[in-house]
């Protein structure tokens, strides 16, 4: 499978998730396009996203489409790369200070803060991250701590701690800068 294409699967206590992503880390605007499908006791989920970054690695534009239960929601957000977010030009105060985005169902979105921080071995950094905590939840801020644990020619391992939700997982990044494994999510 080419490095710019990833598929992840995960079983959760509430069902299963499948993510398919394609993207690029090269050039002036790193980006990801992804689709997440899920099933569980609360109904089927289909989420699609497009995430474009500034050359610095901070988020520039996000398009989210979520079909969950009988509802469809769509967001078109932008960010200036300095922690200011906008919904069609209107500031979003609740996301101020974040340079990154995390989706509860997507390990792939973690590649951007990890790449942007460019931590040396043993390096650690805490930062706010704009986050979508669930399919029918509002966007908010989660606080993360990223630690560069180890690395080799095959990739690098990072400990990612969501301080807001008291969750911890190890993320393996491949040499091209994409997430190869994250917690229960495994690249297929």
Domain residue ranges in the chain: 5-187
The pLDDT of 23-35, averaged and rounded, is 84
Cα 62 to Cα 6: distance, rounded to the nearest angstrom:
19
Hunting for tokens 């050039």 — which residue is that? 27
pTM of the full predicted structure? Answer: 0.88
pLDDT digits (tens, 9 = 90+) for 134-174: 888 899 999 999 999 998 888 899 999 999 999 999 999 98
Cα 74 to Cα 93: distance, rounded to the nearest angstrom:
19
């Amino acid at each position: 499978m080419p490095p710019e294409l990833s598929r992840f699967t995960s079983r959760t206590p509430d069902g299963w998730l499948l993510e398919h992503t394609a993207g690029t880390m090269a050039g002036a605007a790193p980006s990801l396009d992804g689709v997440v499908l899920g099933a569980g006791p609360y109904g089927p989920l289909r989420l699609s996203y497009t995430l474009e970054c500034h050359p610095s690695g901070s988020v520039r534009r996000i398009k989210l489409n979520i079909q969950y239960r009988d509802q469809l929601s769509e967001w078109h957000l932008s960010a200036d790369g300095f922690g200011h977010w906008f919904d069609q030009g209107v500031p979003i105060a609740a996301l101020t200070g974040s340079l990154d985005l995390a989706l509860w169902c997507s390990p792939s979105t973690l590649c951007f803060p990890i790449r942007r921080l460019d931590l040396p071995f043993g390096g650690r950094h805490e930062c706010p991250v704009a986050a979508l905590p669930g399919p029918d939840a509002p966007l908010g801020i989660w606080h993360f701590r990223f630690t560069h644990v180890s690395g080799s020619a095959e990739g690098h391992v990072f400990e990612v701690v969501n301080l807001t939700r008291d969750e911890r997982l190890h993320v393996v990044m491949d040499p091209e800068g994409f997430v190869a494994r994250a917690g229960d999510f495994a690249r297929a």
